[in-house]
Structure 1
């Protein structure tokens, strides 16, 4: 999907600051997206987002902006921090995601590599100084909530586990076991930290730092699974490309599932629609029937739902 958004409009910035003011009132204790310009619901602000992360305001720009826009943005953020009701803001940063290395400028405070956040009552570590991967994808909140609500007594497989957010939610919901697999050992290490942060029993959790495509036999030994979660990256150089490799995952799922097992299959690329996974499942795992698509959080509203995160449930 080509991005043909017009340049950002400085005259639209009051809408941005109004959203921040409202967001800081409604969810100051939990991690939240306060403004999602990427959903293209506000004309002139299509390339800016803002997250509230443990008393840190994190603004991201996804395209270059004019000097005038940046000056007004910085001025408005300073004015926000100066308001007495916002004295709890510890830092304000602007991350320039369009530049190599996604450099971050701090208007207030400084970056931290490990901050504790709360989401739906559960705790996670996030990284403010990372150029992209902060440790928790905020648009997946309702997916984690669903897993927590449906985990009781289940054996769960968490493919592409990253920092094990689904695993934390599953154990909180009473899962019998969660098996996490991801090539990045450092991400799994942070996942273990997330479990410990919630005082969870890690003897019920496995952390496998392996290539999924070379580990089907090992994964089968820990099964069968009542629930499999597949939340792959859209693209990971040298290891995974959604449009080319997802089918290899889908065809393996039936052999790993228990009777009446379920699959939560996710795709977060705007280049594919929900039919990409539905059609792929029908072709490569026809035993699995489409049940429903989970909602995304309201704060991630998108003018085109098919361009946003797609979390879809299938069942044997």
Structure 2
């Protein structure tokens, strides 16, 4: 959890949890006082100090501002081999163009007789960190750090600049680890009331010492029950807010379906685990990770031990789209492999929106959980809008738009079965499709490229194929990475710009395209280029192209782009 500054859509940080704990413990109706002076980067463990009374607050504030507080950290790094066992890192830090901190390059000494310019490098702030090696094993080392100054990301950027990045650091090039291997081991300050020097320590350094000894386990995590349980426990803790959403969140934000484990992003390669109410769905991705059947059984046993009613299994081939029948029992058993069966069809909640799912119906369940934040966004901008949802599957984006007040939705998909289930989702959300609402929400069973060409004027006109003139305020594009219909074959890595070109021709003035792609081999940068090229090829002017935020339960692999890439294109 973050130490402060919770996400607005689902507030949950250390400050809120401590206040809730104090209020419950002391039986207070009013939120207790808590003075905040310190923050830790998310995934940094260790000591945090708060003031519980206003009279203590001034003393703590003065000590933090006057640098009278001593902060000791422990960091597990790679690349310290051959360096001094004790040293001091002194650098000028500034915020770079990408928003991250960076070390200001040192100025060369002026020639003899030339006076050096006064002052520090432009925009830099001095950062001083004292380093001592506690333990070393080859290239890996456990370092004691004393932070003399308190700059943003100080230890992380200074150690990376010194060639020894902290393990698990996705921002500054750290080697792979289950999390950021940085621990706030001790904080020393004067007691606000007595003035006596007070030191608070957290000796729990097990994860750092484990990484120092073993490095990145990779798939070997499945061969060590203790390491596997630790990785699952960390993933569960990271989803604390989502997991208690049904109890804590207002009705309009309750969520009972989300990702619990996201493969390498949670240090569990080849494994994704999703929560659907009281059941889990484990997805094992094709690869030599699962050649050992004992690993698979061990994982299923540990998931079963988490306490859900049942666990379903999906064996994901490399390209599930090329399968003729994705309901084959050896790939997706129709009954749970652990525990009790879920109802054949039941509703889960996503930000308060009901979605019907089927856990035993092949590889797909009825909803793509990685689009939750995008559907929340669509719901928020759809008031009175005309929305077209292409590759709509079971129409969850369309339902979100309708709940957000869209005046019209069109759901287009080649699968008649998927669209019928889309109608079920509309009904589950209480949206009428007939009566006064007739025609407001329509479903088109057609190849999306053919539909776009017809809408945009590219289709042939004739008695049975007359082009319908209609434009939209928002188009949602969420195609599979690969797909084939009777009319054409689509590969996201080569055809996405063509899809955007066709879409831009049916977007009205000032309209938007929400473009999404889950192709693992496509980088975010290349995907943005596809969208930009597609808009330009349509002769439209792009006003804005921005990346949409990643879902909090879909952390990307360390140092790599997330699997789901989403951008919003706003046209003139």
TM over 0.5: yes
The 5 Å alignment of 1:31-180 reads 31-37=257-263, 40-43=264-267, 45-62=268-285, 63=287, 64=290, 66-81=292-307, 89-98=308-317, 101=328, 102-104=331-333, 106-110=337-341, 112-180=343-411
Does the residue aligned with 2:569 lie in a helix, a strand or coil? strand
Checking the alignment, whether the CA contact within 8 Å between 2:314 and 2:363 is kept in structure 1 is: no
Residue 65 of structure 1 and its aligned partner are, at CA, apart by 5.1
Separation of aligned partners in 2, 1:179 and 1:269: 25
Cα displacement (A) at 1:42:
3.9
Matched with 1:232 is 479
Tell me, yes or no, if structure 1 residue 26 matches structure 2 residue 244. Answer: yes
User: What is the CA–CA distance in structure 1 between the aligned matches of 2:311 and 2:453, rounded to whole Å?
Assistant: 47
Change (3 A) 1:75 1:91: closer
User: Does the C-alpha gap of structure 1 residues 283 and 217 become closer, same or farther in structure 2, counting only changes over 3 Å?
Assistant: closer
Aligned to 1:86: none
The secondary structure found in structure 2 opposite 1:7 is helix
Match of 2:417 among 186, 194, 215: 186
Q: Which structure's CA Rg is the greater one?
A: 2
Q: What displacement does 1:19 show?
A: 4.2
Counterpart pick for 1:249 among 463, 486, 499: 499
Q: Secondary structure at the match of 1:103?
A: coil
Q: Equivalents in 2 of 1:217, 1:20: separation in Å?
A: 44
The verdict on how the C-alpha distance between 1:247 and 1:15 changes in structure 2, with shifts beyond 3 A counting, is same
Cα 1:142–1:67 change in 2 (3 A) is same
- Counterpart position of 1:15: 230
Aligned equivalents of 1:50, 1:217: Cα separation in 2: 38
Q: CA offsets, 1:234-257, max 9 Å, x none?
A: 011343221233222221233211
Gaps of 5+ in 2: 1-216, 247-254, 319-325, 457-467
Residue 561 of structure 2 aligns to a residue whose secondary structure is helix
CA distance in 1, matches of 2:302, 2:525: 42
Aligned residues: 302
Partner Cα separation in structure 1 for residue 521 and residue 304 of structure 2: 37
Whether the aligned pair in 1 keeps the contact of 2:389 and 2:412 (CA below 8 Å) is yes
Q: Which moved more, 1:262-271 or 1:7-16?
A: 7-16
Tell me, in whole angstroms, the C-alpha distance in 1 between the residues paired with 2:514 and 2:283.
29
Runs of 5+ consecutive residues of structure 1 not aligned to the other structure? 82-88
Report the equivalent of 1:314.
Answer: 569
1:306 is paired with a residue whose SS is coil
Q: Deviations over 1:127-150 (max 9, x none)?
A: 101332211110110000000000
Distance in 1 between the 2:347 and 2:261 partners?
Answer: 21
Change (3 A) 1:226 1:34: same
Q: Secondary structure at the match of 2:354?
A: strand
CA distance in 2, matches of 1:170, 1:154: 8
Instruction: Quickly say closer, same or farther: Cα 1:312–1:68, change in 2 above 3 A.
Output: same
Q: 1:210 aligns to what?
A: 446
For the residue of structure 2 that corresponds to 1:285, the secondary structure is: helix
* Separation in structure 1 between the aligned mates of residue 518 and residue 446 of structure 2, nearest angstrom: 22
Instruction: Give secondary structure in 1 for the equivalent of 2:393.
Output: coil
Contact 1:157 1:229 in 2 (8 A): yes
Preserved contact between residue 156 and residue 175 of structure 1 (Cα < 8 Å):
yes
Q: Per-residue CA shift, 1:178-211, capped at 9, x if unaligned?
A: 1111101111111111001111132321100011
More moved, 275-284 vs 133-142? 275-284
